[in-house]
Amino acid sequence: MHIPDGYLSPATCAITYAAALPFWYVAFARVKCLLHTRTVPLLAVFSAFSFVIMMFNLPLPGGTSGHAVGVAVATIVLGPWASMVAVSIALLIQSLFFGDGGITTYGANCLNMAVAGTLVAHWTYMLIAGRAELTASRRVVAAAIAGYLAINVAALLTAVEFGVQPMLFHDATGTPLYAPYPLAIAIPAMMIGHLTVAGLAELVISGGLVAYLQRANPDLLAYSVSSGVADTRARASIWRSTRTLWFILAALMILSPLGLLVEGTAWGEWGVDDFAIGEARQQISSASGNEALPATVPQGLEHLAIVWTAPVPDYAPGFMQNANLGYILSAVFGTGLILLAFLLISRASPK
């Protein structure tokens, strides 16, 4: 779901940035008063969790790959506005430093995952959980369904953004200038894998983490960072629970090379070179309803694809010979950058 540079037209990118901007504004306004408190590690750990969990690639039907996002559990613990901030920061680090998602398409990626994903997760969880006790199994079910719906709504929005490109932006001969496949191909190609494998992964992660928090620290489920509403016990337990979550995150970073076992590229995230390689073209076609790619790289895509070169593309540091160690190092580096980002934001925010 990380749309690369070149797959959306400049007009589409501008619209998605404009759509995301008011949500960013409100989200940062809601959480800035808490950026000088002990809640900062909580924001950072869920942002880092989203970053790391997206490194675990999953095999999807058609030979492509996908991943969970972790947006539902962030929404449940942090509240919707803080979740938008946390996931947006994770996506920013991914695009700037690792080339996972574009710079021109950052607004679209945030709109899909950080904004829409958060809102869907929040309202689904609130609707199903209701006023159930914090330790009620109903909340686990609510979290699982919230995660499943959130990632699928995000995937659907991504598919629509891909699919409208050839309809709206093409040359005089009808050749697409950006993303090459129409809605009839983009929607099923994106949704089949997310309705099944990726959606189920998000379901298990969301429900599983809420079930864990119910046992380990149910008070944390009563805390909403973006509203600042909590009882005294929840406030006192934030730092203690965060330490445990950081240990869990460290374990996930060590296990992150499992994401390298999946060879398929996520649908719609092909590199420019893939358009010229016969085997890659065949794989893309097979994952796209056996519809062939354009004979050449779409002109607009080729032009925008080079707008930014990430220093550590594909989470593969150039100085590391061992891909697994490089992947772990990227997870650690990305997490450190997220911590630094929240530190800088907290220092820049007025007290």
End-to-end CA distance of the chain: 36
Count how many Cα atoms sit within 13 Å of the Cα of residue 232 in the half-sphere of its side chain. Answer: 0
Q: Are 298 and 4 in contact (CB under 8 A)?
A: no
In tens, the pLDDT along 45-103 reads 999 999 999 999 999 998 999 999 999 999 999 999 999 999 999 999 999 999 999 99
Q: Which of 55, 33, 46 is nearest to 241 (CA)?
A: 46
In tens, the pLDDT along 108-130 reads 999 999 999 999 999 999 999 99
Residues 302-308: what's their mean pLDDT?
A: 96
Residues 192-199: what's their mean pLDDT?
A: 97
In tens, the pLDDT along 246-263 reads 999 999 999 999 999 998
SS3 call for 80: helix
pLDDT at 181 over 80: yes
**Domain range for 195:** 10-348
pLDDT at 331 over 80: yes
pLDDT of residue 241: 64
pLDDT of residue 243: 83
**Residue 175 resides in a domain:** yes
**Residue 2 resides in a domain:** no
Confidence at 230, pLDDT banded by 50, 70, 90: very low
pLDDT of residue 226: 46
**Residue 270 resides in a domain:** yes
Q: What percent of the chain has pLDDT over 90?
A: 80
Residues 280-302: what's their mean pLDDT?
A: 93
pLDDT of residue 278: 86
**Residue 80 resides in a domain:** yes
**Residue 47 resides in a domain:** yes
Query: What's the total number of domains in the chain?
Result: 1
CATH of the domain at 151: 1.10.1760.20
**Residue 5 resides in a domain:** no
**Residue 1 resides in a domain:** no
Q: What is the pTM of this model?
A: 0.94
Rounded mean pLDDT of the chain? Answer: 92
Task: Report, in this order, helix, strand and coil percent for the chain, each rounded to 5.
Answer: 70, 5, 30
Q: Which of 63, 68, 76 is nearest to 113 (CA)?
A: 68
